[in-house]
Amino acid sequence: MSDRKEFRDLASPERAHEVVDSLDLSAGTERVPLEAARGRVLAERVDAGLDVPGFDRAAMDGYAVSAPDTYGADDSSVTLPVVSSVHAGERPGVSLEGGEAAEVSTGAVMPDGADAVVIVERTETVEGDAVEQDADRAVRIETAVTPGENVMLAGADIAAGERALGPGTRLTPREVGLLSALGVDEVPVRAKPRVAVVSTGDELVRPGDDLDSRAGQIYDVNSYAIATAIEEAGGEPVVYPHVGDDMDAMERTLVEAADECDLVLTSGSTSASAVDVVYRVIEERGELLMHGVAIKPGKPMLVGRIGGDGTDPESDSKSAYVGLPGYPVSALTIFRTFVAPALRSAVGLPDPRTAQVSGRMAERVRSEEGRRRLLAVGLVEDETGETLVYPVDKGSGATTTLTAADGVVDVPADTNGVAADASVTVDLFSPDVRPPTLLGVGEDDPALSRLLDRLDRPRYLARGSRGGLWRLDDGLADVAVVAGPVERADVDAVDLGGWTREWGLVVPADNPDGIDGLAALVDRDRSFVNRGTDSGLRTSLANALADLADERGADRHAVTDAVSGFDLAARAFESPARSVAAGDADAGIGLRATAAKLGLCFVPVGTQSVRVLANPDRTGKPSVEELATTLDDLSDVLDGLEGFESE
């Protein structure tokens, strides 16, 4: 009998929220120093233990007086002797008698006998013979004041015994300032739930350690990404060493984490595969409440409880448990949708401010009926300021999917997709999200990367020369970058400028096989790595091989078929060269600059023109104008790139 567990009744997203919300994530309360209180949430009411201020305080620079002594000064100035000066932080040295004044600075204690302050701008110092009574100087007052004028009375800010801050208050600099004024040096706050992060899978390697790609190893993305998301939601992440697909090791780690933390999060090992064993551990050492949710991405989600010694399932104390899918996009989507709200609720944090924008879908997107889909999308503004929305979906295993997206479109479960030109609402990842100033699509290129560094908030989609022309033609892209002899006669575009780059074959250092040109690939059995069909490099290679076939009077297809690996396509311009550097291929298509960068040998074949083409309706867009200006002088951009020249 197979031990594969099948997904049967997937929980609805609404039900999944209910199950996660039923978990107890509360970590109690703790007292923290005031300097560490920013962003925390008060667990108890704080009452004022003293008056603030604790004395009658001068609110302005000027002269403390008894208000009746100034009456009539509006009609005829009043002159009073100045018998003392009082500065902030010192005790007054005198008590005023009737008809006297004391110079005071802002924040000073009001001397006895004074009940008002005349601001210094409405006074004039009198010295010499004009001074009356036994004083060194006097002040001529030009305005009358009333009792309490320009004075903050004791307790006027907050009085002793008054409710200062209530439970549930999030402590911002304003609240911290009030607590400081009350002399509070530590405050009771809701404790942050300790959240265990356990990534699973034999293939995982921690960043910084050696990676064996040939053995299928990948760097552990989820431990770090999820830990950061936990902090953002108000929790305290505790990252455990990753666990392989071994049930005993999994059980030991999860039980230990449950004993030490309020919530245990795993990523990976939650699907229906026979090697995915987390759900078995939860069933044996806890309680499995849910397995699978009708949402995309993120179907293989687990919710339950785990912990205790297993001797008394009814009384054992258990920690909350949520199993996230292994793919980074799925894991972060499930965390953001279901776990983060529960964590924020546990620590008393409000849901983050949300923001939505409306836009027009740039292309049709198909979706699977029966599962709600959270479609990651990007934004760009066209020449009229209208927002265009396009899917950003490299698959759940691609870590760049969410970093290249601006938000999500919620596609209901009862629909099969979103039509092109349909009006959609985008839930932005943050209210701070703004569309990129420039959206470029096309060929990847080292000079282009430098060029983009000079622009403010550009976004570039490396989709090859043909992909760039397609996106320029359908009105999505502001600019397309096209390399080589790619047919573009039917695409309306404005040529902003460009450069040339030398291309050819990248071979190991010292060229041990003596590869001297394309003929060596055709005539000798040497492994080769090509670029994808959308790449301008591949087009130039195909044309060069066609010329070689014509010279020999041979069939063009027979020539390309003779190149071992001609159809083996690598995604990026450095990828074939890196395969050569790793010893996985004898040669690869590439640029002279790439060979120099990686310390490999280069066999030149030809020179390509790289052109930056603009949507003619968007040449007035500020970012396109800035790009055009930069293209006028590429000397700094191309400096140090071997084989590159301005055109």
The answer to whether the bond into 53 is cis (omega within 30° of 0) is yes
CB 505 within 8 A of CB 518: yes
Contact 455, 627 (CB under 8 A): yes
Condensed to tens digits (0 to 9), the pLDDT of residues 606-626 reads: 999 999 999 999 999 999 999
203: its two tokens: 């293939």
Is domain 356-433 annotated with CATH 3.40.50.620?
A: no
pLDDT at 366 over 50: yes
Q: Is the pLDDT of residue 326 over 90?
A: no
Q: Rounded to whole angstroms, how far apart are CA atoms 29 and 44?
A: 9
What's the average model confidence in pLDDT over 195-213?
89
Task: Decide which of 580 and 218 is more confident.
Answer: 580
Separation of alpha carbons 594 and 574, rounded Å? 6
Q: Are 269 and 199 in contact (CB under 8 A)?
A: no
Give the three-class secondary structure for 311. coil
Rounded to whole angstroms, the Cα distance separating 302 from 20 reads 10
pLDDT of residue 230: 96
pLDDT at 2: 40
- Alpha-carbon distances, residue 193 vs 259, 261, 348 (angstroms): 13, 7, 11
Residue 314's pLDDT is 52
State mean pLDDT over 114-128.
92
CATH of 57-152, one of 3.40.50.300, 2.170.190.11, 3.20.20.140, 3.40.47.10: 2.170.190.11
List, in order, residues 6 or more apart from 334 with CB less than 8 Å away: 293, 295, 297, 298, 301, 324, 325
SS3 561: helix
Average pLDDT, the chain: 91
CA-based nearest residue to 534, from 592, 487, 596, 478 = 487
| Mean pLDDT of all residues in 338-353 | 92
Q: How many angstroms separate the CA atoms of 570 and 576, rounded? A: 6
Compute the distance between CA of residue 523 and CA of residue 332 in angstroms, rounded to an integer. 50
Torsion of CA 621, 627, 629, 632, to 10 degrees: -140
pLDDT over 70 at 8, yes or no: no
Give the whole-angstrom CA distance, residue 484 versus residue 501. 10
Q: Is 512 helix (H, G, I), strand (E, B) or coil?
A: coil
Handedness of CA 513, 518, 520, 521 (dihedral sign): positive
- Output the pLDDT for position 133: 54
Q: How many CB atoms lie within 10 A of CB 475?
A: 14
Specify the length of the chain in residues: 647
Inform me whether the pLDDT recorded for 312 exceeds 80: no
Per-residue pLDDT for 189 more than 80?
Answer: yes
Q: What is the pLDDT of residue 490?
A: 81
Asked if pLDDT for residue 3 goes beyond 70, the answer is no
**pLDDT at residue 635 tops 60:** yes
Radius of gyration of the chain (CA): 36
Please indicate whether the domains covering 13-25+193-347 and 29-51+158-190 agree at the CATH topology level: no
Asked if 61 and 79 touch (Cβ cutoff 8 Å), the reply is no
Class of the CATH-defined domain 436-647: alpha beta
Strands 423-428 and 407-411, bridge-based pairing = antiparallel
> What is residue 316's predicted lDDT score, i.e. its pLDDT?
56
What fold, for 13-25+193-347? Molybdenum Cofactor Biosythetic Enzyme; Chain A (3.40.980)
Whether residue 296 contacts residue 24, with contact meaning beta carbons closer than 8 Å, is answered with no
The Cα-based distances of 205 to 131, 228, 246, 254 in angstroms read 86, 18, 16, 19
User: pLDDT tens across 104-119, in order?
Assistant: 999 999 999 999 999 9
Whether 400 has a pLDDT exceeding 80, the answer reads no
Does the structure show a pLDDT above 90 at 128?
no
- Contacts of residue 510, defined as CB under 8 A and 6 or more positions apart, other chains included, come to 601
pLDDT band at residue 1, thresholds of 50, 70 and 90? very low
CB 565 within 8 A of CB 530: yes
Which backbone phi and psi does 613 adopt, to 5 degrees?
-110, 135
Counting residues of the chain whose pLDDT is more than 70, the rounded percentage is: 94
Q: Which CATH class is domain 29-51+158-190?
A: alpha beta
Say whether pLDDT at 274 is over 70.
no
Report the alpha-carbon distance of residue 48 to residue 158 in Å, rounded. Answer: 7
Q: What is the pLDDT of residue 396?
A: 63
Residue 402 in this model has a pLDDT that exceeds 90: no
% of the chain surpassing 90 pLDDT = 75
Distance, in Å, from the CA atom of 276 to the CA atom of 301, rounded to the nearest integer, reads 12
Q: pLDDT band for 395, please (50, 70, 90 cuts).
A: low
**Average of pLDDT values for 37-52?**
94
Distance CA 228, CA 206 (A): 16
Which range is least confidently modeled, 85-99, 131-145, 156-170? 131-145
Q: Where are the domains of the chain?
A: 13-25+193-347, 29-51+158-190, 57-152, 356-433, 436-647
pLDDT over threshold 90, residue 313: no
- Residue 281 confidence (pLDDT): 87
Q: Is 326 left (phi over 0), alpha (psi -120 to 50) or beta?
A: alpha
